[in-house]
Amino acid sequence: MQPVRADPLVPRDRPSGEALGIVLRIGSTLAFAAMGSCIKSLGDGVPLGEVVFFRSAVALVPLVLFLAWSGDFPRGLATRRPFGHVARSAMGACAMFTSFATIRLLPLAEATLLSYLAPVMLTLLGWTLLGEALNRRRVAGVALGLAGGAAFCLPALSGTFAEGALLGLVLGLATAFLTAGALIQVRRLTLAGERAGAIAFWFAVVSAVGGLATLPAGWTVPDAPQAALLVGAGLAGGAAHILMTLSFRHAEAAALAPFEYLSILWAALAGVVFFAEIPNWAFLLAAPLILAGSIVAVPRRAKSGV
């Protein structure tokens, strides 16, 4: 009888090498920040669908290499629930479109911060769709997150938002909602026995197809700097996912939790250094509320690298 192979993209029950796990987690936050910086640097010079295509298609390269190195390619991509993957991937692809549009419209740190509303929305969706318990901890997390979201909206209510920022805020909130919906579907697929490698692979494929579908709307031929940024976004995004999942194989989620939120710091630093973006008062007010809500709403044991 053949032994059951461990899923290379699923956390182990008994993590080891905590220091290595922390290093990998920090590396993943830096890679995510690098991806966002590449997207931000492209500006409006490359159509959004073209950016999504390159981000997804190029990310397949490190992902496939990693799965092959782990001995999980191609047989690990088999699935018994193709429509479940399509539903998860469609929501994730839509989130990628709205996320990249948000990065174009808002400062990088603000766009990154809004993504941390996803755990709050995940708690609400888990309660309504999956019947998960809504205890005091989760209610407190939702309340903090919603308070942070309201604080983020204060400039819009006072009429001091920059041009396009209101649309960016709406798209950022849509990103968080779509991400939460995609994570709900990831939970369903995981409970049904689907492997994390298959979930990640088919998401990248569907997102690439979704980006390619915008070709008739008009793509541009990127120049050398734009091509480098497109490839860089894809490689950074793929590497970030792999580093994040590997970190959970070497350290417990509780040990990695404090380093998860370095993404905000890297995004803020990149915004200041590369794009002359100074965080405003609404960001400084909303950030602790949203991050606290994200921490409280979802128990650390529920976090995974998928």
Residue 79's pLDDT is 86
**CA dist 104 → 34, 37, 40, 90, 275 (Å):** 15, 10, 6, 22, 12
Tokens linked to 164: 């396009």
**Per-position b or e across 17-48, b if 16+ CB within 10 A of its CB:** eeeebbbbbbbbbbbbbbbbbbbbbbeeebbb
pLDDT of 254 over the 70 cut: no
Residues with Cβ within 8 Å of residue 293, at least 6 apart in sequence: 116, 117, 119, 120, 141, 142, 143, 144, 145, 146, 147, 148
Whole-number Å distance between alpha carbons of 277 and 263: 16
pLDDT of 207 over the 70 cut: yes
Residue 15's pLDDT is 43
| Cβ atoms of residues 286 and 149 within 8 Å | yes
Residue 205's pLDDT is 94
pLDDT of 1 over the 80 cut: no
Q: Which of 34-38, 265-269, 291-295 has the lowest mean pLDDT?
A: 291-295
Residue 265's pLDDT is 86
Residue 72's pLDDT is 81
pLDDT of 156 over the 50 cut: yes
Average per-residue pLDDT for the chain: 83
Residue 54's pLDDT is 97
Residue 304's pLDDT is 45
Whether the predicted model's global pTM rises above the 0.95 cut: no
**Computed from CA positions of residues 258, 260, 265, 269, in that sequence, does the dihedral angle turn out positive or negative?**
positive
Domain coordinates of the chain in residue numbers?
Answer: 18-71+79-217+224-298
Residue with tokens 């690990």: 76
pLDDT of 257 over the 50 cut: yes
CA nearest neighbour of 115 among 55, 163, 59, 182: 182
User: From the DSSP assignment, how many helices (H) and strands (E) are in the chain?
Assistant: 12, 0
Q: Which of 47-51, 112-116, 140-144 has the lowest mean pLDDT?
A: 140-144
pLDDT-based confidence at residue 82 (cuts at 50, 70, 90): confident
pLDDT of 14 over the 70 cut: no
**Computed from CA positions of residues 123, 130, 306, 31, in that sequence, does the dihedral angle turn out positive or negative?**
negative
Residue 200's pLDDT is 87
DSSP state of 74: T
Residue 161's pLDDT is 58
